[in-house]
Amino acid sequence: MAGGRELTRTPDWLERRTGHAPPALRERVRAYAALAGGSSPEALASAGQRALSEVLAHAGDRRVALDLLAADGLITLALLAQAEQSPQDLRRFAASLLDSGVLSGD
């Protein structure tokens, strides 16, 4: 609960936060999120890692530029989801992403 209301994670959550993104990027973000199981902070971080892994596997290939943008967006969305869900745990969550290598591409 936050501010007296329960936060829910639905496909609408992701749509509301990506609605103004270019259609191709929005679709790529949605595809990675779906593969990772949704729009929880952990799922979005996992999706961002998957997108970044795709970029690193094809380093120098311009065709993965959209995946790089998706990775950036997904990590940002993961942090946003965590901030909305449990702001007091945001620092711990961000540190866990750094420690796990999600943010460094390890």
Tens-digit pLDDT profile for residues 6-34: 444 567 899 999 999 999 999 999 999 99
50 inside domain? yes
- Residue range 48-58, pLDDT digits in tens: 999 999 999 99
In a domain, 14, yes or no: no
Coil, strand or helix: which one is 93?
A: helix
pLDDT (mean) for 66-90: 96
The three-state secondary structure class of 5 is strand
| Domains: count for the chain | 1
pLDDT band with cut points at 50, 70 and 90 for residue 3: very low
The tokens describing 97, both together, are: 């992403």
pTM (2 d.p.): 0.84
pLDDT for 106: 54
Count the Cβ atoms, other than its own, within 10 Å of residue 43.
Answer: 21
pLDDT in tens, 32-49: 999 999 899 999 999 999
Structure confidence at residue 4 as a pLDDT band (50, 70, 90): very low
Q: What is the pLDDT of residue 65?
A: 95
- Is 39 within a domain? yes
- Name the residue range of residue 53's domain: 19-100
Domain membership flag for residue 10:
no
